[in-house]
Chains A and B, each alone.
Chain A
Amino acid sequence: EAGVTQSPTHLIKTRGQQATLRCSPISGHTSVYWYQQALGLGLQFLLWYDEGEERNRGNFPPRFSGRQFPNYSSELNVNALELEDSALYLCASTRGEQPQHFGDGTRLSIL
């Protein structure tokens, strides 16, 4: 069974640009969670998508957004990038009450 896949592995942007991160869940999983792992801040919940809808978001500004497609894959968009957005962005998928399974992440570096 293929795991959660994320792309790209690394992304380098400059301040003010926009970034798009992608996530493909495990087959059969309908929920996607996004987390940010920033140095010194630990792992923080960003967004939850389920059945194509945004269901909940963490304490992040509106320039963090995304969507979930009919095949349950998901995109995370970050607009107007700031230096403090540099982090590892992790996607996890699940279904029902199963534990979340994580991808290897996208490392976003802002220059």
Chain B
Amino acid sequence: GDSVTQMEGPVTLSEEAFLTINCTYTATGYPSLFWYVQYPGEGLQLLLKATKADDKGSNKGFEATYRKETTSFHLEKGSVQVSDSAVYFCALAELNTGFQKLVFGTGTRLLVSP
């Protein structure tokens, strides 16, 4: 079945450092790819998405590019802030089949210090 693999955390960075969180996937079809973020005590918020190969999703300074040749969707941000501290989940879903079950990675905790 479909699966998502994320880098283990926690990732610890100083404010204004560059962030990369790696995500690779295995899928039989042509999934859409997502990054969700979970702040403490909250649910998941959609951070960005990409629906086809070479699409770049971006939001709040975060970016990720759908790379079909490497089956990857790595999350990047040029300069992190303390407020970016959260758990980040990479996920995939087949949006065009009606059944949108999200398959998640294990999550990567990001800790940003001042």
* B partners with A: yes
What residues of chain A have their CB less than 8 Å away from a CB belonging to chain B? 4, 6, 31, 33, 35, 42-43, 45, 48, 50, 55-56, 58, 90, 92, 94, 97, 99-105
Assess the B42–A104 pair: CB atoms within 8 A.
Answer: yes
Q: What's the minimum C-beta distance from B44 to chain A, rounded to whole angstroms?
A: 4
In the complex, A6 Cα to B42 Cα: how many Å? 11
Besides A45-B103, A100-B100, A105-B42, 11 other A-B contacts (C-beta < 8 A)? A33-B102, A43-B104, A45-B102, A92-B102, A94-B100, A97-B95, A97-B100, A100-B93, A100-B102, A101-B46, A102-B44
Q: List 5 A-B contacts (CB under 8 A).
A: A42-B106, A45-B103, A90-B43, A97-B95, A102-B36
Q: What's the minimum C-beta distance from A52 to chain B, rounded to whole angstroms?
A: 15
| In the complex, chain B residues whose CB is within 8 Å of the CB of A48 | 99-101
- For B, the interface residue count at a CB cutoff of 8 angstroms equals 24
Q: A42-B104, A42-B107, A104-B43 are in contact. Are A99 and B49 (CB under 8 A)?
A: yes
In the complex, A70 Cα to B90 Cα: how many Å? 32
Flag whether B96 is at the interface (Cβ < 8 A): yes
